[in-house]
A and B are shown apart, each in its own frame.
Chain A
């Protein structure tokens, strides 16, 4: 277990907080850690900022993430990593599509000239919107409180996907499933960062698996071609007990 003192904290959106810490480690965009709050639990978390200091961007969903929100400057972060494969950044004209906290794993790829679709439930849930060139980003919210009223897929449908060299997607599986169907057969390189319940993070417990692939070790990033072959993607998954359910 690695540990590091928190050097800064800032609010990013409603219930979303960026936590900075020192970690002398080379990382790829899309890689993650298993973050431990001693005595409470351990959850997967993308590294949202790869420079110095490094950062994670945490949304408070439940037990562990809410406890992490209570941490302050000077407290210690405990974690295992780096885990996962990371995105292959390629092509000149790139589009990033992030839903909710999924934007955190895409954040390291935001730079001048990169296009974006930032989606969330309401305007308060949109993160890192202001870090894109404002003429290259679309906001989408389910309630229309900011930008486009609709989903990330609705926003994507207003663009020509083949005008991009590459597209990177991270968000809820249902959102990514729709995007996968929309982009299937199009002439553009696409990668998805998948998210499933994780327990071990090291490829032994089978809790994060999809079609025999362990998202924690073989992913979280998969190409459009490999995702299209997955029979479980967007359709069925195991709960934290291992019970199979349909989406």
Chain B
């Protein structure tokens, strides 16, 4: 269901509602992305794609718990040169597809960005924050100089909007947000580092030992980081982390997000979650007296 109340846009990209599929969840196969768009997502972010084909870690790659999920998939991806077909399949639906990429430095990010743009994506999301592959992600995302260089170079390389997805695993998020100044929007947050041990097996539950925490449990962390970055920088933000219902969406929006991404909730609720939350959100906005979702952006921020 797409009411006028939900219609919005992010960096000029029109969205039927503020709900986007988060990177890494059900977005490896073009047919799955197409299905999710048809079931009510306003847009999808692809899984993070790199230069080379990667199988990722041996399962177990997930360790589900009550209200959370730990994962260490290992940046599984077919390599950018094998990914165009999936985007083409997803784009048949006619809704925006956002291409997520990861790399080791500004040069690699720029090359990937150019290829993604040529596949026809509406925007790019830079995964600066994936916490579980040595040499990628967090180590880059926690270094302000590297973040600045990557975002600047990618911006020079493409003409579509560029979103920088930041890691929560840093001491000073505002410093990193400022380093990503050239980005058109910031995406907050990626997973939080964590791990679990099976006491009977006396071994870590994930093959990679360390994983990323997502799901309902991380929502307060995400809301706080969105709030802090919005308050300190006023940047355009896409909120993500633990969203599972309309009230969660509005919490992120009132903290300063223009739209949101949903990921782990699909584990419990399935692909129908997008239309379900849209319907609920429309009713909630009406109840609270908002004519449009954009009127609620950042209203909770104390001046």
- Taking CB as reference atom, which chain B residue is nearest A2? B200
**Nearest Cβ distance between residue A145 and chain B, in whole angstroms?**
35
Known: A243-B53, A244-B86. Contact between A206 and B60, CB under 8 A? no
A-B contact count (CB 8 A): 130
Alpha-carbon distance A134/B208, docked complex (angstroms): 49
Query: Once the chains bind, are A78 and B200 in contact (CB under 8 Å)?
Result: yes
> How far, in whole Å, are A154 and B34 apart by their CA atoms in the complex?
37
Residues in B whose Cβ lies below 8 Å from that of A211: 31, 35
Q: Is the CB of A209 within 8 A of B31?
A: yes
A238 proximity list for chain B (CB < 8 A): 28-29, 78
Binds B, one of A32-40, A118-126, A155-163: A32-40
A199, A204, A241: the one within 8 Å of B53 (CB): A241
Of B28, B54, B207, most A-chain CB atoms within 10 Å:
B28
Q: How far is the CB of A227 from chain B (nearest CB, A)?
A: 14
Interface size on B, residues (CB 8 A): 46
Q: How far is the CB of B86 from chain A (nearest CB, A)?
A: 7
- Is A38 a contact of B201 with CB atoms below 8 Å? yes
When the two chains form their complex, are residues A241 and B270 in contact, meaning their CB atoms are under 8 A apart?
Answer: no
Which residues of the other chain, B, contact A231 by a CB distance below 8 angstroms? 31
A101 within 8 A of B: no
A214: interface (CB < 8 Å):
yes
CB-contacts of B86-115 with A (<8 A): 86
In the assembled complex, which residues on chain A have CB atoms less than 8 Å from the CB atom of B205?
1
Q: Kindly report which residue of chain B lies nearest to residue A39, judged by CB atoms.
A: B203
Asked if residues A204 and B198 are in contact (CB atoms below 8 Å), the reply is no
B77: Cβ under 8 A from any A Cβ? yes
* A80 proximity list for chain B (CB < 8 A): 64
The answer to whether A42 touches B270, judged by C-beta atoms less than 8 angstroms apart, is no
Complex: chain B residue closest to A78, CB-CB: B201
Q: Shortest beta-carbon distance, B264 to chain A, in Å? A: 7
- Give residues of chain A (172-218) contacting chain B, Cβ–Cβ below 8 Å: 198-207, 209-214, 217
Taking CB atoms, residues of chain A closer than 8 Å to B47 are 206, 242
Let me know if B56 is at the binding interface, CB within 8 A: yes
Residues of B within 8 A of A (CB): 25-29, 31-32, 34-36, 47, 53-56, 58-64, 69, 71, 73, 76-79, 82-83, 85-86, 198, 200-203, 205, 207, 263-264, 266-267, 270-271
